[in-house]
Chains A and B, each alone.
Chain A
Amino acid sequence: MITIELRGIWHRYPGISNWALKDISATFSSGKLILVSGHNGSGKTTLLKIAALLYRPWHGEIIVEGCNFWKMNEAEKIKIRRKITYVHEKPILLRGSVFENVAYSIRIRGVDRCDATEKAESIMEELELIKLSDKSAKELSAGQSQLVAIARALVADPELILLDEPFAHLDTRKSKLLSQALKVRRKNGVGIVFASHSRGKLPEDLEPDEVIVLEEGQIISKY
């Protein structure tokens, strides 16, 4: 069970004077499904990357397991990061096959080749990617790439998964598959955070526990 608490987060990008996030406080934890909603440029992606512990905020604290994450040592940071995964809206796939991409997350965790293969194949079966297993990742369509990136994130059994516009490139069939896979994880206590322009982009069977609405880097409502 992991809880990431953002306290008074301010963030801006180097060379840009405008704040991308202004005084954001929010909590993301295992077992909860949260939707972060807002228009383009409202700060959704930045918020997700801060919550995924990828960006260090300019001001504010990120409390994980009772400690300020950015004051932890490198080994502790890796341990925490391995409980969380983030999938970008435009996923980046590695050179090599679909299988190599999916297995990457568990291989870097030191899982042996046999177990890694078994786990990767299982998640690829679940998301109907198994036929693409040997295909080069660079030859996939946008929707297939998105699913492969999500499979690569899910295979590591994260306690919290942050997905930026996960349904953006998926057709109805693939959306259903992903929705089903996420429902199973939610039931098993995995925390899920979506970033999306609107609630309508989410499948009906994935009802969020909380919705955070952003505008110009600020939370304008939470319900």
Chain B
Amino acid sequence: MSQLLSEVLDVTFRTLYISGLATVLSILWSLPAAYLLSFRQRAGLLEAVVESLVGIPTTLLGLLLFMLFSSSGILGFLKLLYTPQAILIGQSILVTPILISTSYRVLREVVSPYFELALSLGASKIQAMAMILRESVAGIIASIIMSFSRAVGELGVAMMVGGNIKGFTRVLTTAIALGVTRGEFEAAIILGVILLALTISTAIAVKVLMRLMRS
């Protein structure tokens, strides 16, 4: 029992670590991209491309990354296949469209009026940007939560480039898939409940944090 618990904890912490880091990594390019996109008068085509990528099948992305990271692939020399880093890169790419798309929708409503307001009060461009981010923080945090949930819940990338190696690249989704394959439904259900609880509690924690910040 204690071994099962320690395995569950190990898988859970690895999932949190990889998906959390992948989301943070994606923020680095997704938020600036969304910010720049929100200033464009005609962003229809770009918006459509990004939105269509939101639903990219994780197995397809996993396959593409597998081909890149495999020993005969372009990035094979990096020896990333079947490592946590490969999952991290894959998940950060996976959540990029959703993060850009959802934060763009938030920023699009805020950028124009608040940028104008900031300039009219004598703000510099950096001060204007700070104002815009401050005003859209709730929406952006919601986008980040959605992206994190997508990363935590994906299977294709983690399975294909992570390889589901026990104690190394096994995460909640791959562990559930393995449990079902082996007919270990009890363990799979426990892991499924943890996965669900994880995403819900993250959302609640952030909401509470934001309320505290506001008060």
Contact = CB atoms under 8 A, between A and B. Distances in A.
Interface of A: 14-15, 49, 52-54, 74, 78, 81-82, 84-88, 92, 94-95, 104-105, 108-109, 152-153, 156
Contacts of B121: 85, 104-105, 108, 152-153, 156
Contacts of A15: 41-42
What does DSSP make chain B's interface, helix, strand, loop or mixed?
Answer: helix
Contacts of B134: 94-95
Contacts of B131: 94
Contacts of B119: 53-54, 81
B122 A109 contact: yes
Interface stretch (B7-15, B110-118, B170-178): B110-118
A81, A88, A109 — most chain B CB neighbours (10 Å): A81
Contacts of A152: 121
A54 B116 contact: yes
Interface in B4-57: 41-42
Contact of A74 (B113, B125, B135): B125
Contacts, number: 49
B24 to A, nearest CB: 25
Contacts of B114: 92
B135 A81 contact: no
Nearest to A90: B113
Interface string B128-142: 000100110000000
14 contacts: A15-B42, A52-B120, A53-B119, A78-B124, A81-B119, A81-B122, A85-B121, A85-B122, A94-B135, A95-B214, A104-B121, A105-B121, A108-B122, A108-B124
Contacts of A105: 121-122
B113 A92 contact: yes
Nearest 6 CB-CB pairings of A with B: A82-B122, A86-B120, A14-B41, A105-B121, A108-B127, A108-B123
Nearest to A153: B121
